[in-house]
Amino acid sequence: MGRKIKFSLLYRDMWQSSGKYVPRLDQLEKVAPHIVDMGCFARVETNGGGFEQINLLFGENPNKAVRAWTKPLKDAGIETHMLERALNGIRMTPVPADVRKLMYKVKKKQGTDIARSFCGLNDSRNILDSIKYAKEGGMVAQAAMSISYSEVHTVKYYVDLADELIKGGAEEICLKDMAGVARPAWLGQIVKEIRKKHKDIPMTYHGHAGPGFQVATILEVCRAGVDYVDVAMEPLSWGTGHADLLTVQAMLKDAGFDVPEVNMKAYMKVRSLTQEFIDDFLGYFINPKNRLMNSLLIGPGLPGGMMGSMMADLEKNLVSLNKWKKKNSKPELSLDELLIKLFDEVQYVWPRLGYPPLVTPFSQYVKNIALMNVVQVEKGKERWSMIADNIWDMILGKSGKLPGKLDPILLKKAEEEGREFYTGHPQDPYPDALDSFRKEMDENGWDYGQDDEELFELAMHPEQYRNYKSGKAKENFNNEIAEIEAKEKEADQPKASTSGLPEGATPSHMNIDVNGEQFKVTVSYGDATVQNTTEQQSSSVPATDNSNSNGEGEPLISPLEGTFYLTKEPGEKPIEVGTQVKAGDIAGYVEAMKTYNAVRFDSSGTLVKFAVNNGDDIEEDDVIAYVK
């Protein structure tokens, strides 16, 4: 028998790579015993950023969810692991060091064994901090390298990075092929070189199926020395997700590796329950196109984990752009036309932005810049005219060092706007903050929770946690589901088994008998056009007269569609009505596609009125405020 290869199930990530939401706690508790019964998993990914934020969006307590979800796995001797973003912890923006340190202590006590830590820029300073904090918290420190394929991301680049991380205390290495763009032989060579220098370091391969390389890559890296392979399972494998357990197991077994057998009765039960969760409500948020492989992804290299949200963003922007085109008597675009323009633009902007690895959050930043450029060019404007503050932080080095060089046009733009580049340690600008969150909890009479887990949750996800505590999160989620179901009913469509597919495009089914037990299995999706049920509802802000005929002053117009916020950071003081403002001062922010875009006053004067409230959804060209 050949070398042993172990499997890790990405039950959280396979949902997040497919759509917007992951299962609720009751659903996770229902499926967990059957995952155990499959008998083939050494590890299961149990939590991380998206998982816990989604609990809050449901109105669920993420700490209770993590404890309950990990317990049956731990009891069965299965190791559990979480994904965290180093400087950004388990959110999209930088986290104070004391909050990062508390995270590992809390997660270890909740039942998570391994911290898979990656920096979206592969800046070793950020990962080395995570290694130190994870070990102090009692967790296994697994350092993940974000795999991108470019002229700067060479074999030597990754071998040297792995060497630095291992010497810095990493107990394991993960090759995080988040877009599935690693060429098999190339990544195999990286693994071989790491294995030569570090014979006993455990290595994991994590990849996505989208561009089509992944199965070949798995075989190459296993031959080169990888110990663990992350897998998904039907009905949520392939597409923007991950290779399927059964395919990988059969391939490696045939190649002579020692791989675990799969209890097929339990496999079919997990598969059946997963389909049940899709049929319940999660399918409303899964675009069937995300179930498809797409070799067009080789060029832009966008990761599977963001493709679901990207398609929703694209559809929203298409509606907004076509409104403008119709208004200006221009030919409208189809979704496919906009998608190709976006892919082409990603390939244009990525090297000019210094080749940041295309992983969260920086893949979103590259995609957002590209999409904004496409929209602006379509409207006859210039590229680079809309750069959100989060993206500027990446450009200026505040999140870490970029692998490549910035284009001179961005250096010039930064100089013109008076922006300064940062070369210090990325953690230094973010002082400890737990005391301020303790004060907030004390003032509200909120319990810190077991092992300070509630304090941690507030500190890591302030806005989402406050909405959870107030009940607003659960109300918003219930309203979202109700609106989708009302739309379906109005259109006289039956509830779809996968993401609101219209009649005629619902999956075909067949019944399979496994050891005398019947299972209903989804086979294919058909070719019918899909109605986008994830599209945001029309703005809650009433249409506003953009003219100055009402005498209230000069209107400040929103440059894009999104959610309006007065401030970007918790504790930041918002601007108030009556304030004297100058042209260029910040009025607030429009959050769109997970980035905050500063909205600046066009003229000087007195802020006399806000036309929208903090947290309101707004459309492009809506009036935000008036200056007189």
Q: Are 502 and 530 in contact (CB under 8 A)?
A: yes
- CA–chain centroid gap for 57, Å, is 15
The last residue of a domain, from among 361, 386, 411? 386
Cα–Cα distances in angstroms (integers) from residue 510 to residues 244, 308, 520, 582, in the given order: 19, 27, 6, 66
pLDDT at 253: 97
Q: Is residue 472 part of a domain?
A: no
Counting the structural domains of the chain, the total is: 2
Q: Which of 563, 538, 536, 549 is nearest to 624 (CA)?
A: 563
Q: Is residue 566 part of a domain?
A: yes
CA distance 381 to 349: 16
Q: Is residue 52 part of a domain?
A: no
pLDDT tens-digit map of 276-321: 999 999 998 888 878 888 787 787 777 765 665 677 677 778 888 8
The last residue of a domain, from among 335, 362, 386? 386
Q: How many CB atoms lie within 10 A of CB 489?
A: 11
Q: How many CB atoms lie within 10 A of CB 255?
A: 13
Cα–Cα distances in angstroms (integers) from residue 264 to residues 9, 234, 248, 513, in the given order: 15, 13, 15, 11
Q: What percent of the chain has pLDDT over 70?
A: 88
pLDDT at 560: 77
Q: Is residue 213 part of a domain?
A: no
Q: Are 597 and 389 in contact (CB under 8 A)?
A: yes
pLDDT at 617: 84
DSSP state of 19: B
Q: Are 312 and 288 in contact (CB under 8 A)?
A: no
Q: Is residue 409 part of a domain?
A: no
Q: Which of 384, 374, 419 is nearest to 398 (CA)?
A: 419
Q: Residues 6 or more apart from 351 whose CB is under 8 A from it?
A: 150, 404, 407
- Domain containing 569 — which CATH number? 2.40.50.100
pLDDT at 524: 43
Q: How many CB atoms lie within 10 A of CB 326?
A: 11
pLDDT at 280: 92
Q: Is residue 292 part of a domain?
A: no
Q: Is residue 456 part of a domain?
A: no
> Which domain does 601 fall in, by range?
554-627
Q: Which residues of the chain have pLDDT under 70?
A: 304-309, 312, 492-551, 570-571, 593-594
The last residue of a domain, from among 337, 370, 386? 386
- CA–chain centroid gap for 513, Å, is 37
Q: Is residue 440 part of a domain?
A: no
Q: Are 337 and 345 in contact (CB under 8 A)?
A: no
pTM: predicted TM-score of the whole model, two decimal places:
0.80
DSSP state of 513: E
Q: Residues 6 or more apart from 74 whose CB is under 8 A from it?
A: 80, 111, 113
Judged on CB neighbours under 10 Å (0-12, 13-18, 19+), 150 is middle
The three-point CA angle 338-340-344 to 5° equals 115
